[in-house]
Copies of this chain bind each other. A is one copy, B any other.
Amino acid sequence: MGVLVMINRPSADAAAHRPGAPDFEEADPASPQLSVLDLAATRGDGVFETIAVGDGYPQALDHHLRRFASSASILDLPSPDLAVWRRAILEVVDKLGPLPEATVKAVMSRGIEGDGRPTGWVHGQQSPDHTRARTEGIAVVTLDRGLRHDVERTSPWLLAGAKTLSYAVNRAAIREAVRRGADDVIFISSDGFVLEGPTSSLVVQRGDTLLTPGIELGILDGTTLGSVFDFAAEEGLRTGYAMLTAEQLGEMDSLWLVSSGRHAAPVHTLDGVPRPFDSELNLRMNAFLSRRQE
């Protein structure tokens, strides 16, 4: 069941759940900890981050915390007290003990309706074995995300660019991929631009350049992506942002879906069509992601 810490004071802008108690405390993940009235459970009304832990080190933690605060702001949630959250995450990492790979999830919801105090918790557990996806690759289908590429600017209430608990569509998209005999999804905007995966960012290789869709397309500011760009610098590859169409994906030398837990999963099949990827570069990229300590 992993390690669980409940946050007593998720935000400095809201009262603590138990005044005078520590900022966070370990709790039993096998026992119920949440009210059925919590807006996490009734409205998917909150934000989260999933942080990879490699050899006891929480990777890209600053970036995750920055994005956590940004998502909370987009949802008009009380601002998370990042010092408390950081300590809680480090405590969970510590209690997990020596594991080659783990993930830690930080969740903050709006709390119980009308109560005014957000609910927060951090849960860590050992990762499943992602070796096969990292080395052999994955089959991916492109699916319509339904939204135009510019909705973050035109229609901020659609919450594009925030990592919210309202992930039912992301999960339904992956079930649709499985139905089509694939493993994962690349979302396409309703006006034809390549966006991201339901739980990952897209990276493409064209010659000596790694490219990714820009966050102005209403997609998440990928934390693993930042590390991939650090890797590119180490490799002497150029990096950049691009508005790509679904058709252009077929012209790329390699495609990856990159995410905190699975790291870089190269795409071996796109919409049923086998495609190549640079295996050597892929192995070096995954090695870099596994050992990063920043």
The reply to whether the CB of A232 lies closer than 8 angstroms to some CB of chain B is no
The reply to whether the CB of A155 lies closer than 8 angstroms to some CB of chain B is yes
B143 touches A146 (CB 8 A): no
**Which listed residue (B144, B155, B166, B169) contacts A144, Cβ 8 A?**
B155
Contact residues in B for A225 (Cβ distance below 8 Å)? none
Interface code A129-156, partner B: CB below 8 Å = 1, 0 otherwise? Answer: 0000000000000011111100100111
Docked CA distance A157–B32 (Å): 31
The reply to whether the CB of A41 lies closer than 8 angstroms to some CB of chain B is yes
Interface size classification for chain A:
35 or more
The reply to whether the CB of A273 lies closer than 8 angstroms to some CB of chain B is no
Docked CA distance A143–B154 (Å): 10
B166 touches A44 (CB 8 A): yes
A168 touches B159 (CB 8 A): yes
**Distance in Å from the Cβ of A167 to the closest Cβ of chain B?**
4
Copies in the complex: 2
Interface code A26-65, partner B: CB below 8 Å = 1, 0 otherwise? Answer: 0001111111111011111110100000000000000000
Given contacts A146-B146, A157-B175, contact A36 B166 (CB under 8 A): no
**Which listed residue (B35, B43, B107) contacts A32, Cβ 8 A?**
B35
The reply to whether the CB of A165 lies closer than 8 angstroms to some CB of chain B is yes
The reply to whether the CB of A173 lies closer than 8 angstroms to some CB of chain B is yes
**Which listed residue (B46, B167, B175) contacts A76, Cβ 8 A?**
B175
A168 to B, closest residue via Cβ: B166
Contact residues in B for A190 (Cβ distance below 8 Å)? 147-148, 190
**Distance in Å from the Cβ of A79 to the closest Cβ of chain B?**
16
**Which listed residue (B29, B38, B45, B121) contacts A171, Cβ 8 A?**
B45
Contact residues in B for A164 (Cβ distance below 8 Å)? 44, 168
Pairs A-B, 10 closest by C-beta atoms: A44-B44, A166-B166, A166-B168, A34-B34, A43-B167, A40-B41, A44-B166, A157-B176, A157-B172, A32-B32
What are 25 of the A-B contact pairs (CB < 8 Å)? A32-B33, A33-B36, A34-B34, A34-B36, A34-B41, A36-B107, A37-B123, A43-B165, A43-B171, A44-B165, A45-B171, A76-B172, A143-B157, A144-B151, A144-B154, A146-B148, A157-B169, A157-B172, A157-B173, A158-B172, A159-B168, A159-B172, A164-B168, A165-B168, A166-B167
**Chain A positions near chain B (C-beta within 8 angstroms):** 1, 4, 29-38, 40-46, 48, 75-76, 105, 107, 109, 121, 123, 143-148, 151, 154-159, 164-173, 175-176, 190
